[in-house]
Structures are given as structure tokens and as C-alpha cells.
Chain A
Amino acid sequence: MIRGMVIDLEKCIGCRSCVVACKQHNAQPAGNWWNRVFTPGSSRHLSPPEKGREYFLPVHCQHCRNAPCEKVCPVGATYKHDDGTVLVDFERCVGCRYCMAACPYGVRQFNWEDPKKAMKRYEYQNEYTYGHPKDYRLNGRLVYMQSRFKGVVEKCNFCVHYLDQGLDPACVRACPGKARHVGDLDDPDSNVSKMIRDKNGFNLLAEKGTEPTVFYLPPKRKEG
């Protein structure tokens, strides 16, 4: 089974709920965003590049089948889980950032400083913390932790810490327009496989040969 995601751009309203849910649930340090939503063609979110021509593009780790980040990691800290999810072992990562140079999607982020220190600097009150509080180990490997080590790389982990509980990733649950779908890409009858087939699912930077497991459905033609 390959767990994949389909994002229906016709249904994305650009509200960025997924961005905030992702940031919160995954306790992302200041300045790091695993998930971003943009208005293509425009330098400002929600301002159309041409009148009536805007659509919204969520971008996060594409969990590539041919993942350059996984191949370059000298210590195997970035690795692929059985279901195709590309994960980072926070205890193994040496922080060489080769994976960041390798990733064409720019979704990998580094802990340039101790996140706790940054929180203090930005004047969060009373030791406020956010995010899933417990560490999560998958077969012994630390693939989620609330307070990151300084000097390690992080990125979308497909909310692997919610998988046990049968929960979809935070971004999927947060999406008010139900633009995001998760399913088995290996099963031709799964919801995601059908959507990709019926609605011309496409990948970002398909020409780079990374074979992402995140697919996008094009938005319908806009009326001028």
C-alpha cells in the first residue's frame, strides 16, 4: 500500500486552515512551515494575479517515490516507511542539510536554533507550547517530537503520529472545503486513484522524475 494524497484545487478556497492546523499539530518552530498555501502568479496571498484568475496552491512534502532527499541522506535519517511516507528520524539526523539542497520543492526546514529559545524571544506567554505533546516512535525511530533538537532537519511527516489512531493528517481534517483526500495509490479502486484518473491528477515538477505521491486536481476554467 502506498499512502498518497490528492488535493483538489477546485475546492481549495485559500483559507490556509491546513497551514495553521499543520503548524499547530506538529509544533513547528517559529519561521518553519511544513505546509504553505499560495496564490500562484501573485506575490500576495489572495490577491489575484489577473482579475478572476486566481487559484490556490498548497505545497508541502510530496513524499516522492524517487525521493532525492532520502537518497542523499548520509546516515539514513531520512527514510521511507512501508507505506511510502518519507520520514525524518530526529535522533539520527546530523544536520548536514544535504536533503535541503536535494529537495526541488523547498519543503525541508532546518532548526537553526533551539526552538524553545526562539519561542521565548517572540514573547509567547507563560511557557506556552503548542502541538501534539507526546513523542512518537515508529519501529523505534523518533519521527515526531514536540520540542525539536537544535540543528536537525524537519518536514511534513504525513501526521504519522495520528496513523495509529486511525486519524487522517491534520491538514485533511482541517480543510473546510474537503479539498484534501488520503488513500491507497496502489489500489486502482481507491478514492484517490479514481480521482487522479477521472480528474486529470497531476504532480508538481513531474519533469524532475521524483514521482510524488501527492497529486493535484486542476481547478475548472474560470469565467472571465
Chain B
Amino acid sequence: MSNSKKIGFLVTGLLMIAGFVAWIYQYKEGLVLTNMRNSYSWGLYVSGLAFFVGNAAGGLVLSSLIYLFGVKSLKPFAKIGALTAFANVTAAMISILPDIGQPIRLYHMLLHPNLNSPLVWDVIVLNLYAALSLIYLYILMLPDLKGPLAKIALKVDQPKEFSEKWAKRLAPFSLVAAMGIHVITAWIFATQGGRDWWNSAVLAPDFIAVAVASGTAVVFIVSLLTYGFKNEHQQAYRSMAIIIATAYFVHIFLMYNDFIIHYWYGAHEALETLSITFIDYGLAHAFEVLAPLAAVILLLNKKIRQSSGAMISSCILLILGVFAHRFLLMPAAFDKIQLSMNPLGLQHNYWSVPISSGQYDPFIDTFVTKWHYFPSAIEITIFLGVIAFMCFVVLFAMDRFPIAGEAEA
């Protein structure tokens, strides 16, 4: 095992342990250790769900491009796509576990699922997608399962043809399942008429756009780390850069399309959510737009695509921007009190009904209209643990299974 691999295992291992310990501690003490409260009841963990679900799109992009649209240059990255999809969708599910107040009771999801709840749909589709990406990965690896791995190989006459045939057959299903995870995750939020910030028909298509950008960037990074810079991959780099750029511009269009129609009409509710995003969280919003923009401009430059380091940095910049975007799902939803009104008879007084925070403190108000949320150290530790888990899964699979094996185009 190379030194960099050892360091990788060590760092991800330690972060996972730290995250797990933090979660146990939080489980014992309660979610009071987070900085969420009644008025701001979802934070980093749920943003994390959306973030990882988006990163899981890599499998969709690659398998559909390769096997449905015949983009051969991406073939060496197909297995990486399936693997990062699996790692990220699993991380998505793990990232909401610490958000659950009574995780041990989750078996009620099986015993008494409420089929009206988008959360139930999401759990179903995320599990389905995790299973599908594993199967996909297995099928793609099949011709290379040799030596000690031969015992887990399916006995077929011509593994190469078999693998090719089934990869092609599964591609449409994985495409649908992948669209499914983004659309349904978006519906968790978009169905909520009670939150103006989320209640938009554009949210689901936007989730797909963001996911295609960040999911491809994840595959891009892992591919470069695995194979290093290779001249014969130039065409693939170019394809991925174009996919990321297109997806990013579609995302910006969808997002600003929503902003502009609401801003133009100028209803109080809409202006308030926009002012939270553009003023209270102005810097974060600038970052979510400009960081990926910079990344896209860089990736589209031929010279940048000559350096593995420059491409990786650009992709990381893009993913950080997407993370900021996911974080910003919450502030404008929770810092705006839905129950706001002009008190009867007072035309110039727009007033919000405060919410009891759930925390008694003799020195601060229990009833609040804004909650200045920033994740607590426990939340950040747990979240880093989930990121580490995702990286660990990728590292581990790369180490044990023939994923980096160059498939012939």
C-alpha cells in the first residue's frame, strides 16, 4: 500500500471515529448540542442530505452518456462513477441519521410508513439507487474479478460480453433512479407550501442541474487521483468539463429565473426570503454563484486541462460552491416566519408571530423571529465524519477491487 493511501485511510478513519463519538455523545445528550432550535429546526445535517444526494449523480451521468449516448471516451470512468454514486448516496442516508431525535425508532418506517410523506419516498428511492449502483459496479467489474476475487464472480461464459450487455440494459433504469433521487429529495422541500423559499416548481429540475455538475466533479476528482493526468483522457476531461459547465449554467438560469419572477412581483413574502439570501447571507450567496463560475471558466480552458492539480482544484471549488448552495436551502426557509401579517387596522406594520425556541435562558428571549444558526462543533464534527465515510468507501473499494482497471474503449 502506498504512503498516500495509508494517510488517506488514517485521516478518514480518525475523522469517522471522531464523528461517530460525537454522534453517540449527541444521542446521549439530545439535539440540544446542535445549534438548531424550534424556529430553525433543520440545519447542516439536512443540507448534508441534499449535498450528498447531489454528489451521487456521477453514476447517472457516466452510465447514461456511455451506454445510452455512446460517449466512449468516458468508459474508463464508468466504474468510478458507479462507486462514487454508491458512496455518496450512502453518505446521504447516514448524514440524516444524526438529525433524527429517536434513531432507534426508525423501524417504524418499515412498520408504519406514511405513503403520503415525501421522506418515505426518498428513503425508498435512495436505497434503491444505492442497490442499483452496487449492482452496476459489480457488473462493470465482472470481467476483472480474477484471482482471490474470482469466488465472488458470477459464473458466465463470456464475462466481458455479459458485462457489456447488462451494463447497457441497466443504463436506462439507473438513469431513471438517478433522476428519482434528485427529484424526490427536492420534493421533500418543494412540496412544502408552508415555506415560500422551497415551494417552487423549479426546485426539482434545479436539483438535477446542481447534481449533474457536482456529481460529475466528484467523478472527475476521483478519476484524476486514480489515474493521474493522462493524455489519452483529454477527450474525457473535455466532455466532463462541458457537462459541468452546462449543468452549472442551467442551474444558474433556473435559480435566477425563480428569483426574478418573485422579485418583479414584489410580494412581501418573496422579498423577505430574497433579502435573507442576498443581504443576511450575501457573502455565502456570492460564493455559491461565483466559486462554481470560476471553476467552470477554468475547466473550460484547454491549458487548465493540462494539469491534474488545476483540474482537481477547480472541481473542489465547484463542490464547495455547491455545498454553500445546499447550506443556503435553510436560512431563507427558517429565518422567515411564515405566520406574518399586517395587524388588523395597521396598514404599515408588517409583523411576524414569534416562535418559542425550545430553550429557556434567563438572559435571552425564548420567543424569537430569527435564529442566528451556525452549526455547532458537534454538528461539524459529525458532518466531517460523514464526508470521511464517503471518502473511505471510495478509497477502500479502490484498494480492494479492480475499479481502476482500464477498460478497453
Which A residues fall within an 8 A CB radius of B? 30-33, 36, 38, 40-42, 49-50, 53, 55, 57, 59, 68, 71-77, 92-98, 100-106, 108-114, 118, 122, 149-153, 204-205, 208-210, 218-219, 221-222
Closest 5 CB pairs of A and B: A95-B101, A151-B101, A104-B194, A40-B343, A113-B30
A166 to B34, CA, bound (A): 42
Known contacts A36-B367, A96-B101: A72-B30 contact under CB 8 Å: no
Chain B residues 307 to 346 lying within 8 A of chain A, measured CB to CB, are 333-334, 337-339, 341, 343-346
Known contacts A31-B359, A68-B193, A112-B31: A101-B345 contact under CB 8 Å: no
Contact partner, A93, options B102, B193, B353, B354, Cβ 8 Å = B102
Contact partner, A50, options B117, B118, B346, Cβ 8 Å = B346
Known contacts A108-B38, A218-B344: A92-B30 contact under CB 8 Å: no
Say yes or no: B351 contacts A40, CB within 8 Å.
yes
- Determine if B42 is an interface residue (Cβ-Cβ < 8 Å): yes
Known contacts A31-B359, A97-B101: A105-B351 contact under CB 8 Å: no
CB distance from A48 to the nearest CB of B (A): 10
Closest to B358 in A: A31
A42 to B105, CA, bound (A): 42
- Determine if B355 is an interface residue (Cβ-Cβ < 8 Å): yes
CB distance from A81 to the nearest CB of B (A): 16
Known contacts A32-B358, A94-B102: A74-B117 contact under CB 8 Å: yes
Q: By CB atoms of chain B within 10 A, which of A30, A74, A205 has the most?
A: A74
Say yes or no: A76 contacts B112, CB within 8 Å.
yes
Say yes or no: A101 contacts B112, CB within 8 Å.
no
A77 to B114, CA, bound (A): 9
Say yes or no: A36 contacts B356, CB within 8 Å.
yes
A76 to B108, CA, bound (A): 9
Closest to B361 in A: A31
A221 to B117, CA, bound (A): 43
Which B residues fall within an 8 A CB radius of A? 29-32, 34, 36-39, 41-42, 96, 99-103, 105-106, 108-109, 111-114, 116-120, 123, 188, 191-195, 333-334, 337-339, 341, 343-346, 349, 351, 353-360, 366-367
> What are the residues of chain A within 8 A of B188 when measuring CB–CB?
98
A71 to B318, CA, bound (A): 36
CB distance from A100 to the nearest CB of B (A): 4
> What are the residues of chain A within 8 A of B111 when measuring CB–CB?
75
CB distance from A23 to the nearest CB of B (A): 10
A107 to B57, CA, bound (A): 37
> What are the residues of chain A within 8 A of B366 when measuring CB–CB?
31, 33
Contact partner, B194, options A53, A73, A94, A103, Cβ 8 Å = A103
A31 to B116, CA, bound (A): 31
Say yes or no: A95 contacts B343, CB within 8 Å.
no
CB distance from B112 to the nearest CB of A (A): 5
Say yes or no: B113 contacts A110, CB within 8 Å.
no
Closest to B34 in A: A112
Say yes or no: B117 contacts A73, CB within 8 Å.
yes
> What are the residues of chain A within 8 A of B353 when measuring CB–CB?
36, 38, 40, 57, 59, 105-106
A40 to B100, CA, bound (A): 34
Say yes or no: B359 contacts A106, CB within 8 Å.
no
Interface pairs (18), CB distance under 8 Å: A36-B353, A40-B343, A41-B346, A57-B353, A59-B339, A59-B353, A71-B114, A72-B192, A74-B113, A74-B123, A93-B101, A95-B102, A96-B96, A98-B188, A106-B339, A109-B356, A112-B32, A150-B30
CB distance from A173 to the nearest CB of B (A): 22
> What are the residues of chain A within 8 A of B116 when measuring CB–CB?
71-72
Contact partner, B120, options A74, A102, A113, Cβ 8 Å = A74
Say yes or no: B101 contacts A110, CB within 8 Å.
yes
Say yes or no: B356 contacts A95, CB within 8 Å.
no
> What are the residues of chain A within 8 A of B29 when measuring CB–CB?
113
Say yes or no: B343 contacts A101, CB within 8 Å.
no
Say yes or no: B31 contacts A94, CB within 8 Å.
no
Say yes or no: B109 contacts A74, CB within 8 Å.
yes
Say yes or no: A98 contacts B117, CB within 8 Å.
yes
A95 to B96, CA, bound (A): 11
Say yes or no: B108 contacts A94, CB within 8 Å.
yes
CB distance from B304 to the nearest CB of A (A): 41
A218 to B345, CA, bound (A): 11
